[in-house]
Amino acid sequence: MPVRRGRWWRWSVVSAGVAVLVALPFAIAAWPVQAAAVTTAQLADRIAASAATPYQGFVLSSGIAGLPNLPQVSDVIALLNGETNLRAYYASPKKWRVDQIGPGTERDLYQTASGQVLWDFGANRVTSIVGELPVRLPRGSDLVPPDLARRLLAVARASVPPPVITRLPDRRVAGHPAAGIRIAPADKAATVDHIDIWADPETGLGEHVAITGRGASAPILETRFLDLSFGTPDEATLTPPNPTGDVEGSVTTAGDVNSALKSLRPGPLPSTLAGKPRTVGTPVQGTTGTFVLGGTGISFVPVIGDTGVGAYGSGFTEFLVLSVNRDTGQDASNRAIKAGGLPVILTGGQGVLLSTSLFSVMVVSSPQARRTYLLVGLVDSSLLKQAGEELAAYRGR
């Protein structure tokens, strides 16, 4: 049936409107930007000192790490292998909220002066976390550009040899002018080729972060604001919900997690691996520390007794080791092989080694020591292989 002229015209207007909305973010990014009067060193200092700047906005993070869905760290892998939608409200380091939004799901994490509160919309459950957790894996809130930019810069400044930091052309991010820097690690054992950070030139607030691996033509992990406004969010927005009606509530303390870790009785880990000292995870009473795996946000508080989790090395060549049970290790090996991992014969056992353009993963099994280990890091696969060789022969205490 022929389409009437009026109807055709109306649908043409609708189609054109949709096309404009889709293209708008790209058009805004292409607007000319006057170069900010800030040096490379000044911009880096402002990024590092930006934690006091309040803001709110919507973030899109996308990763193409190509890692298999490994046990124990499946939620972490999901953050690096696909798209993550985040809504962030930030007043201060002790008062913020980040919502991780997915199809039919939403998890809201609140930071308060006394701890954290997690509201799982799908499970209809509110969990209060009191105190500082002894072990924490990366989560969606770690991908918000300001926090990620500060952690990456901290890693860069702690690296030996120091990376090369240069200025990038300015651009627009979420409609705001942004000044950029590029961080290029100097250590050849690192798989990171460069990290690009664009930030507000006045406050140093990170707005767009892109991590590119060696030999890669595009970023492996990229996170940026699609919408951003400066200023302190409303108090009501930052106030955690209280369990009421059919909403289930629970409380977890750092001590509970500490006890749970020790009840697992994980195997001990050596003080050095592949010539690199164990920097975090050493069981020292009354001390705290932070471990950032290539800036992705894995952090620890050392606890009494060996948790079976350790970090080795420093800067961009830091890698993580987890002592896991035999079934978990076998599952990890099978998934790594399906993703293209290669079997490796070790002196005291065997392993599976998987390398991507950014990450290296290795599963090590030592039948004689009756232990299995999972290794991961932004390091060259040869470094993990050497560490795996030592772990396979390690008998521990």
pLDDT of res. 102: 83
Task: Give the model's confidence band at 67: pLDDT under 50 very low, under 70 low, under 90 confident, else very high.
Answer: low
Task: Give the model's confidence band at 49: pLDDT under 50 very low, under 70 low, under 90 confident, else very high.
Answer: very high
pLDDT of res. 263: 44
Q: Alpha carbon 180 to chain centroid distance?
A: 20
Q: Check pLDDT > 70 for residue 79.
A: no
Q: How many residues does the chain have?
A: 397
Q: What average pLDDT does this structure show over 170-182? A: 96
Query: Which region among 116-130, 210-224, 255-269 has the lowest average model confidence (pLDDT)?
Result: 255-269
Q: What average pLDDT does this structure show over 150-160? A: 92
Judging by DSSP bridges, how do beta strands 125-130 and 248-253 pair with one another?
parallel
Strand partners, 345: 350
Q: Which residue has the higher pLDDT, 364 or 370?
A: 364
Distances, alpha carbon 148 to alpha carbons 63, 76, 370, in Å: 14, 15, 38
Which pLDDT tens digit goes with each residue over 95-128?
999 999 988 788 899 999 888 888 888 777 888 8
Q: What is the dihedral sign for C-alpha 121, 125, 129, 133? A: negative
Residue type, 281: G
Q: Check pLDDT > 60 for residue 136.
A: no
Q: Are 314 and 274 contacting, i.e. CB atoms less than 8 angstroms apart?
A: no
Q: Quote the DSSP letter at residue 234.
A: P
Round to whole Å and give the CA distance between 159 and 63: 24
pLDDT of res. 264: 45
Q: Are 265 and 369 contacting, i.e. CB atoms less than 8 angstroms apart?
A: no
CATH topology of domain 30-237: outer membrane lipoprotein receptor (LolB), chain A (2.50.20)
pLDDT of res. 368: 76
Q: Which residue has the higher pLDDT, 140 or 132?
A: 140
pLDDT of res. 157: 92
Q: Which residue has the higher pLDDT, 209 or 314?
A: 209
Which pLDDT tens digit goes with each residue over 185-212?
999 889 999 999 999 999 999 999 999 9
Structure tokens at 64: 């193409």
256: exposed, middle or buried (C-beta count within 10 Å: 0-12, 13-18, 19+)? middle
Q: Could you tell me which residues come within 8 angstroms of residue 251 by beta carbon, excluding any fewer than 6 positions away?
A: 127, 128, 130
How is the chain split into domains, by residue range? 30-237, 265-392
Judging by DSSP bridges, how do beta strands 272-273 and 276-280 pair with one another?
antiparallel
Round to whole Å and give the CA distance between 135 and 264: 14
Q: Could you tell me which residues come within 8 angstroms of residue 380 by beta carbon, excluding any fewer than 6 positions away?
A: 188, 189, 190, 191, 360
Q: Check pLDDT > 70 for residue 8.
A: no
pLDDT of res. 32: 62
pLDDT of res. 139: 75
Mean pLDDT of the chain: 79
pLDDT of res. 300: 34
350: nearest Cα among 373, 320, 380, 324: 373
Which pTM does this prediction carry? 0.78
Q: What average pLDDT does this structure show over 334-361? A: 88
Distances, alpha carbon 394 to alpha carbons 269, 305, 371, in Å: 8, 18, 9
Q: Could you tell me which residues come within 8 angstroms of residue 249 by beta carbon, excluding any fewer than 6 positions away?
A: 125, 126, 127, 128, 242, 243
For 354, the 3-state DSSP assignment is: strand
Q: Are 139 and 296 contacting, i.e. CB atoms less than 8 angstroms apart?
A: no
- Based on its alpha-carbon atoms, the radius of gyration of the chain, rounded to whole angstroms, reads 23
Which pLDDT tens digit goes with each residue over 29-39?
555 666 678 99
